[in-house]
């Protein structure tokens, strides 16, 4: 298989966006994995590049999921605390 004809997506853009807007620790792991992809393709390790690509995508999705989960918990916390404050002032 020729390296020039093999294209493995590195998901670097998603990794950077996940790091900036979602969750820093998991986003950094995604960036590290995404940065490996092109070097592995150039070295002829297509299987390694595909594994790094899949790992970068997985960690970007995990980062987005963590951010969404924390946002939902944050909103729920203030809804519950706000509801408790409204109930305590009613007597």
Mean pLDDT estimate for the chain: 89
In the chain, what are the domain boundaries? 12-88
Report yes or no: 46 and 6 within 8 Å, Cβ to Cβ.
Answer: yes
- Per-residue pLDDT for 2 more than 80? no
Mean per-residue pLDDT for 68-83?
Answer: 91
Token representation of residue 47: 């299987």
19-76-24 Cα angle (round to 5):
10
Q: What are 15-39's pLDDT values in tens digits?
A: 999 999 988 999 999 999 999 999 9
- Per-residue pLDDT for 4 more than 70? no
CB-based contacts of 42, cutoff 8 Å, min separation 6: 3
pTM above 0.95, yes or no: no
């Amino acid at each position: 298989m020729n390296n020039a004809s093999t294209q493995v997506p590195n998901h670097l853009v998603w990794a950077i966006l996940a790091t900036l807007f979602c969750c820093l620790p998991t986003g950094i792991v995604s960036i590290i994995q995404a940065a490996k992809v092109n070097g592995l393709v150039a070295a002829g390790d297509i299987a390694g590049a595909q594994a790094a690509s899949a790992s970068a995508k997985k960690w970007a999705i995990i980062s987005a999921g963590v951010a969404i989960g924390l946002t939902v918990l944050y909103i729920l916390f203030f809804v519950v605390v706000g509801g408790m404050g409204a109930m305590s002032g009613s007597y």
